[in-house]
Structure 1
Amino acid sequence: MKTAHLAGITLALVGRVSAWGQVGHETIGYIAMEFLATNAAAFVKTTIPAKYNNSLGPAAPWADTVRSLSEFKWSAPFHFIDANDDPLGGSCSVEESRDCGNTGCLSTAIANYTQRVNDPSLGATQVMEALYFIDHFLGDIGQPLHVEAYEVGGNDIPAKCNGVSTNLHATWDTGMIVKMVNATYNGDPQGWAAALVEEIKAGSYKSSAAGWISCSSTTEPLSRRRTVEDDVKEVLKARQSPSQITPLACPMVWARESNAYDCSNVFHYTNGTDLCTGTYFNTNIPVINEQIAKQGYRLAAWLNVIFDGSTGL
């Protein structure tokens, strides 16, 4: 198997592509809406305005739409964890002290906005924006190339998708997703979300969903096991300043889970192959489906703990 990298060839891009694109992010939000507990659902519906249908789905891409604006350029580093590992050499890892940077990153941003969304001292707009960021960042952390530094998270690796020249990052963000959703769900993110919700409730994900919101192995001693409830309650209790917030256990576990796909799947193809056809596409669509389902479920669990005190799942 040849490496995915073509030496000496890069694409001229401005910034990075958004994780999962609009379709993926909306789908994560729609999934979360189906698992919200009473208080979390009420908060979401009263905080997100009618222009987004009072829903996490349409609101999920907001953080991508504003980060190119001058007043939100500071948020750009929060969409990523630049894992400085070696995916082509089969060595994938995520270490906060190594990969997060001085300005913060995806894991620290999740902790920060978890505190802010429930901070009574903040105004309505600040709270709304905190919810938007949580909605988005809980999606970003499930995209393998948003937890990878190599070639700017795949942005600088040319690729082909459905005969169109693009890059590896964009292929994962939008190319494979759009092809699958158009073919299977008539281009409708809500249709895709409904199918994944059914898989979580009664299908292929039912037996594993509980593990998605546990952040420790069952072999860990009870005293060392972590859950979404532990993480969220800890940061809400701490009321730390943004500069002091440390990454929570669950987002780092989820980041490492995503990053592992960089070694096992993302870079495994022959140069020149159309990645939106054949083996690569058929192998990775199940990965994308599960990552989208996981992050929607996790987003709901996260908000449920903030506003209802437990995941309720």
Structure 2
Amino acid sequence: MRVPNAFALLCAIPAVHGWGELGHRTVAYLAEKYLSSAASDLVDNLLANNRGWDISDGALWADAVKHRRGYNHTGKWHYIDAADDPPRYCNVNYRRDCKPGPGCIVSAISNFTARVNDASLAQKQQKEALMFLLHFIGDIHQPLHTELLDRGGNDIHVNFSNRVENLHAVWDTHIAHKMRGLKAKEGDDAVLKEAAAVWAEELYAANEATVAVAECRDVSTAEKCALEWAEEGNAWICDNVLKPGVEWLKDRRNDLAGEYFDDAVPVVDELVAKAGLRLGAWLNALAAGRECAGFVVQEGERIEI
């Protein structure tokens, strides 16, 4: 088992749900702590609307919208199906795993990175691009969003706390909820927002004093960076998520809320922390590029989605 890496932000120039509401809100709140003033303005201005959304609400939008007419095709952008052979070996191959046409999470991150600062696009389109990024940079850090086997674990039914769950949902939601002592269901927004804010503060406090390390944050090479993140997440499939083997995981005598959960806790903390740090760096870089181009969103403009 690998131990979590301590790292800090560099000074900036199918039924899949990523981390679930708690995880996505935590990633967004953590990213917010690292934003430059220009990046904060970028997020605030593009998310401005009459619903009173904060950054964490924007990070949930991509999961809701994929069921709407005109957005059904976006579901395939939440993952990349690595056709590897876990737990024997894990790897991501872009040409093999990111299908032409629908694309995948790696190509989606690259595409929407470019669209946020595309002056030829309407502000509503820039806003959508931002919200997709808020979500997808979280999703790509959930290991099962980088795995083809059994639809990313959706078809692996397991015992978690004496309840039958699918492995994907265990990693999306149930591990995180148990870690944070929550019994709230997805959709209990006030409870989950508060829990996410506390988790983000803890992750920030744990990492703010560490030595800065090299980090992929060049938005001009978005596909390369996203692929690196996918490869890193996919390595956890063999090292942790599917390490016991599918048959062991499916055996209902094995409750994944025990030792399996204990091994998963530091992994989830590390990946959520990395997602928040990387999202913050990404938004800072986008905002810096926007300033250099003299590209400013009008203050207070309301863009309803």
What range is the shorter-chain TM-score in? 0.7 to 0.9
Report Cα offsets for 1:94-140 as digits up to 9, x if no partner: 01100001221000000100011111111121111100000000001
* Structure 1 residue 255 corresponds to structure 2 residue 235: no
> Who is 1:121 aligned against?
120
Assess if the C-alpha contact under 8 Å between 1:83 and 1:148 holds in 2.
yes
What amino acid does structure 2 have at the position aligned with 1:210?
Answer: V
**For the Cα contact (< 8 Å) 1:151–1:157, is it kept in 2?**
yes
Residue of structure 1 equivalent to 2:239:
264
Segments of 5+ residues of structure 1 without an aligned counterpart are 1-14, 214-226, 236-247
Q: Which secondary structure state, in structure 2, belongs to the residue aligned with residue 169 of structure 1?
A: helix
SS of equivalent to 2:80: coil
**Residues 30, 55 of structure 1: 8 Å contact kept:** no
Residue in structure 1 matched with residue 206 of structure 2 by the alignment = 199
Structure 2 residue 255 is the aligned partner of structure 1 residue 274: yes
Q: What is the identity percentage for the equivalent residue pairs of Structure 1 and Structure 2?
A: 39
Q: Distance in 1 between matches of 2:39 and 2:144?
A: 30
Pairwise CA distance, 1:249: 1.3
Specify the alignment match of 1:68 in structure 2.
67
TM-score (norm 2): 0.81
Q: How far off is 1:49 after superposition? A: 2.9
Residue 50 of structure 1: how far off its partner (Å): 4.9
Which residue of 2 is the match for residue 36 of structure 1? Answer: 35
- The structural deviation recorded for 1:285 is 0.8
Q: 1:184 to 1:164 in 2, by over 3 A?
A: closer
Amino acid at match of 1:228: R
How far apart, in 2, do the equivalents of 1:106 and 1:132 lie? 14
1:97 paired to 2:77? no
| Residue in 1 that maps onto 2:278 | 298
- Aligned AA for 2:199? W
CA distance in 2 between counterparts of 1:128 and 1:160 reads: 40
Cα RMSD over matched residues?
A: 2.0
Listed one character per residue, the Cα deviations across residues 185-230 of structure 1 (whole Å, up to 9, x for unaligned) are 985111111101111203xxx24x524x2xxxxxxxxxxxxx422x
Q: Is the 8 A contact 1:52 1:58 kept in 2?
A: no
Distance 1:144 1:52 in 2: 32
Q: Secondary structure at the match of 1:165?
A: strand
Are residue 139 (structure 1) and residue 138 (structure 2) matched?
A: yes
Q: Where in structure 2 are there 5+ consecutive unaligned residues?
A: 1-13, 185-190, 291-305
Q: What amino acid is the match of 2:229?
A: W
Counterpart in 1 of 2:293?
none
Residue-by-residue CA offset, 1:157-197 (whole Å, 9 max, x unaligned): 00122221110100000011111122599851111111011
**Corresponding residue for residue 159 of structure 2:** 160
Tell me which of 188, 196, 206 is aligned to 1:189.
Answer: 196
Amino acid at match of 2:234: N
Secondary structure class of the residue paired with 2:159: strand
**Does the 8 Å CA contact 2:138/2:276 hold for their aligned counterparts?**
yes
Deviations 1:212-262 (A, max 9, x none): x2xxxxxxxxxxxxx422xx1356xxxxxxxxxxxx211111101000010
TM-score (norm 1): 0.79
Equivalent residue letter for 1:109: A
Determine helix, strand or coil for the equivalent of 1:233: helix
